Structures are given as structure tokens and as C-alpha cells.
Amino acid sequence: MSNSSVVIIDYKMGNLRSVQKAFEKIGCNAIVSNDTETILKANKLVLPGVGAFKDGMKHLTDLNLISILNQKVLEEKTPILGICLGMQLFSKKSYEYGETQGLGWIDAEVVKFEFNIQNLKIPHVGWNEVYQENENILFTNIKDKHDFYFVHSFYFKPNEDVTIGTTEYGFEFTSVVNKDNIFATQFHPEKSQSAGLQLLKNFMEL
């Protein structure tokens, strides 16, 4: 494998092909796999995902991926990018369909949007601005308050200082995080046109 090998973790959640195609657009040959050897060789990892938190954790468990991900991310410090559900799985727990333990890499919980404002629908779907709270390599050549594409009913609520981007939807919530080699976005870079592709490029150039 080349030095820039990126593996998109296939745990049967969401459209992995659209993420793979986005990497291809920036000239990166991303592999979709849940094979242990392939993951072990990767220089970068991506955990995308659409769907319920409980299902995501069940699939990671059933495919025996949790210990290898812990090894790669926590011990070997391999850079990883979580997308949407992938970001949420980095938390300690979620309250979607009851309480479910997450990977626990970030001290955070995943909670449902609740509003008193009538015109805000759940899920939060569509384009919304990301405010860059801190300078970060992930934001290189992306202007502040750029729009990205969101689809989610639950949001990531960190209890430690990892937030690098926020978004307003009824209130301000965390939409981008970075903790050491762990990066994540609540929005979908692969659906966010040129700015989304730039963010993936920035991740690959870490």
C-alpha cells in the first residue's frame, strides 16, 4: 500500500460508496473494508455512517472491529475521520433508543434535538454554516461560516475541550471535533461539494 492509504471502515451503515467516490475525486484511492489485515496496514481511517447509534455499535461489535480500532486509533495514533454517525460513535454514550455505550474515545454524549421553536424540524436536514472556533488543519483553505450538508436528529455534546467547529440549529451545537489524531464532522463532507472535498484533502495531508 502507498503511504497515503486510507481505509473506509465497512460496518454496514450508510452509503460508503459515496464517501469512497469523494476520496477518488481528490485523487485518493480509498479502500472500503472491514478486513483486519487491511485496516492494520492503513495510514488513515474513515468511519462514516448513517442510521441508529445502537445498530452502529452492534455492527462494530459483531464484526470484531472495536479492539482493532482501539489499537489503531488509541495505541498507534492513526488519524481517523468520523462522519455523521461515525462522529457520534466516538462518544461515551448515546440516548438514541435507550442508552448505548459508544467507543468512548471522547468524553461526550449524544442527545436528541429538542426545541420550543415551532418551525425547526427534526431531523436537521440541509445546508448550514460551520463556525470555525479554532484554527485547525481540517479547515485549511475553507472560509469561516461555510455551508456544509447535514442530516441528523441527535447531536454530539462533548464534556471536554475538543470542539473546533459549531453550527446553529435552535442553539449552538458542536459540529466538528479534534482530539489528538481523532477528527470528526457531524455534516457529510462527501455531500458538501468543493468545501467538503477540501476538508477530505486536508485530512489526507495530515
- As annotated, the active-site residues are 84, 188, 190
Q: Is the peptide bond before 48 cis (omega within 30 degrees of 0)?
A: no
The DSSP output letter for 73 is I
d(CA 190, CA 20): 9
From the CB of residue 25, how many other CB atoms can be counted at a distance below 10 Å?
Answer: 14
Contact 200, 26 (CB under 8 A): yes
d(CA 33, CA 42): 11
Cell output for 57: 455499535
Phi and psi at 150, nearest 5°, equal -115, 145
Contact 197, 25 (CB under 8 A): yes
